[in-house]
Amino acid sequence: MKIVITLLVVLLVGTDCSGRREIVGPTNFPIRCQGDLEWRFCASTCPPVCGQEQPETCHKRCVIGCACPKDMVRVTATSTQCVASMADCPQEVEEEEE
């Protein structure tokens, strides 16, 4: 909890020369996520993942970090790839190693 609060205090929202807003850290470097993921201030604690059933109940709490764009499905729990829907999930999903 302490880390989340610290992160919220440290993050700033900046505007680049094109007028596009981007999230920047304390050193003014943009926060970038890998692959298809994007930085979210309020990502689901139980996002949809290919091959996994959604829990019947999901806490309405959210987490700060990299996640698939809204309404997209993560290929695996640790993948940086997202697909448009469960129907677009690969037939065989291999968990990526970190």
33-88, pLDDT tens digit by residue?
999 999 998 999 999 999 999 888 887 788 999 999 999 999 999 999 999 999 99
Higher pLDDT pick, 96 / 14: 96
- Look at residue 25 and tell me whether its pLDDT is greater than 60: no
CB-facing half-sphere around the CA of 25: CA atoms within 13 A: 9
Instruction: Give yes or no: residues 22 and 37 share one domain.
Output: no
Higher pLDDT pick, 8 / 22: 22
Predicted local distance difference test score (pLDDT) of residue 13: 40
The mean of the pLDDT values for the chain is 76
Is residue 71 in a domain? yes
Predicted local distance difference test score (pLDDT) of residue 90: 94
Q: What is the CATH number of the domain that holds 61?
A: 2.10.25.10
Instruction: Give yes or no: residues 37 and 79 share one domain.
Output: yes
Instruction: Give yes or no: residues 38 and 83 share one domain.
Output: yes
How many domains is the chain partitioned into structurally?
2
Is residue 1 in a domain? yes
Instruction: Give yes or no: residues 25 and 5 share one domain.
Output: yes
Instruction: Give yes or no: residues 38 and 84 share one domain.
Output: yes
